[in-house]
Chains A and B, each alone.
Chain A
Amino acid sequence: MSPFFFYLFAAILIFASLCVILARNPLYNVLSLVVAIFSLSCIFVTLEAYFVGMILILVYAGAVLVFFLFVVMCLNLNSITLTSEAQNRFRWLGTFAALMFTFSFVLATKSFIKAQAVDISSIRGTIEAIGKILFTDYLLPFELTSLLLLIAIFGIVSLAQGALSTGKDTDNS
C-alpha cells in the first residue's frame, strides 16, 4: 500500500507546487497551494502522523490560505494582468541559486538514500500521544506560542490602525 500512495501524493504535491510558482493568475497560485497542502497532509497520514496532518488542514488550508484568498479578493488581484508588468531581473540568477541549493542538498543527504525504511518505528502521532508530550515535556513552548500570537495580533492591529482611522496611508511600521 505505502509505496503507491506515497508516489501518488508526492506527484500531486510537486505538480501543485509548480503551479504555485508558475501560474499567472494569483487566484490560481493560492488554490494550487491549497491542493499542495492537502496532498502534504495525506503524506503525513501515510506516515501515521494523524494529528499534524489534521492540524495542517484545519489551520493552514482552512485559515491561512483562506486569509490569502480574502486578500486576493479584496485587492481585486485576479483581474490584474501580470503580463504587462516587467520581468523580474534576477530570475535566471535566482533559478541558478536554487539549483545550486538543490545540488548541495543532494550532496548533504546522500547518506540517507540507502537508509532503512522510514516506518521502522511504530510510533503513531495520535492526538492522545501528542497531547501527552505537549503538555508535559513541551509545556513551556506551548505557553510561549500564546504570547507569540498575542504579539502578532498587536502587530496587525497597529499596522491596520492608521488605515482604519483616517482611511489614508500611514507609515509601514
Chain B
Amino acid sequence: MITLGSYLALSGVIFSIGLVGVMTSRNVLKVLLSLELLLAASNLSFVSFSKFNGDYAGQLIVFFVILVAAAEVAIGLAIVVLMYRRLSTIQADELRTMKW
C-alpha cells in the first residue's frame, strides 16, 4: 500500500538531491537546475497532502509555485547571461567580490 509516508519520503529524497546540487555545483546553471528540483520536490509533497486531506488548496499552491518558478528562472538566466558576458565563465566561485 502506498501511504502518504512514501510520497513524503520520495519528496524528501528529491529535495536532498536538489540541496546537494545547490550547495556543491561548480557552475551556476547546475545550481539553477537544482533549484528547480527543490521546487519540484515541494510540489510533490503539496499534491500528495492535497490528495490525502481532500482539499484542493495543495494543488492550487502548486499552480502558483510553478508560476513563480517560471518567473524566477527567467530572471536567473538573464543574470547568468550577464555574468557570462562579464566574467566569461559560469563558475560559481568566481563571484566572490562581496567578501570581508
Q: B36 near A64 (CB under 8 angstroms)?
A: yes
Question: Among residues 31 to 88 in chain B, which have CB atoms less than 8 Å away from a CB atom of chain A?
Answer: 32-34, 36-37, 40, 43-44, 47-48, 50-57, 59-60, 62-64, 66-75, 77-86
A43 to B40, CA, bound (A): 12
Q: B51 near A49 (CB under 8 angstroms)?
A: yes
Q: A47 near B51 (CB under 8 angstroms)?
A: yes
Q: Hey, what's the 0/1 contact readout for A95-128 against B, CB within 8 Å counting as 1?
A: 1011101100110010011111111111101000
Q: A101 near B44 (CB under 8 angstroms)?
A: no
Top 10 closest pairs, chain A to chain B, by CB? A121-B54, A94-B23, A113-B5, A152-B71, A21-B21, A94-B24, A91-B24, A98-B19, A102-B16, A112-B5
Q: Hey, what's the 0/1 contact readout for B4-17 against A, CB within 8 Å counting as 1?
A: 11111110111111
CB distance from A49 to the nearest CB of B (A): 5
Q: A163 near B59 (CB under 8 angstroms)?
A: no
CB of A8 closer than 8 Å to a CB of B: no
Please give, as numbers and ranges, the residues of chain B lying within 8 Å of A130 by CB-CB distance: 56, 59-60, 63
Q: A82 near B26 (CB under 8 angstroms)?
A: yes
Name the interface size band of chain B.
35 or more
- Are A21 and B20 CB-contacts (below 8 A) given A109-B9, A123-B54? yes
Please give, as numbers and ranges, the residues of chain A lying within 8 Å of B53 by CB-CB distance: 121
Please give, as numbers and ranges, the residues of chain B lying within 8 Å of A133 by CB-CB distance: 56-57, 60
- Are A118 and B3 CB-contacts (below 8 A) given A40-B44, A55-B66, A105-B12? yes
CB distance from B30 to the nearest CB of A (A): 6
Please give, as numbers and ranges, the residues of chain B lying within 8 Å of A112 by CB-CB distance: 3-5, 8
A72 to B49, CA, bound (A): 35
Q: Hey, what's the 0/1 contact readout for A78-96 against B, CB within 8 Å counting as 1?
A: 0000100111111101110
- Closest B residue to A72 by beta carbon equals B29
Q: B64 near A172 (CB under 8 angstroms)?
A: no
Question: Among residues 130 to 148 in chain A, which have CB atoms less than 8 Å away from a CB atom of chain B?
Answer: 130, 133-134, 138, 141, 145, 148
* Most chain B Cβ neighbours within 10 Å, of A17, A40, A149, A169: A17
Q: B6 near A6 (CB under 8 angstroms)?
A: yes
A-B contact pairs, 15 of them (CB 8 A): A14-B13, A36-B40, A40-B43, A52-B66, A75-B81, A91-B23, A94-B23, A95-B24, A98-B16, A98-B19, A105-B12, A106-B9, A118-B51, A119-B51, A149-B71
A119 to B90, CA, bound (A): 44
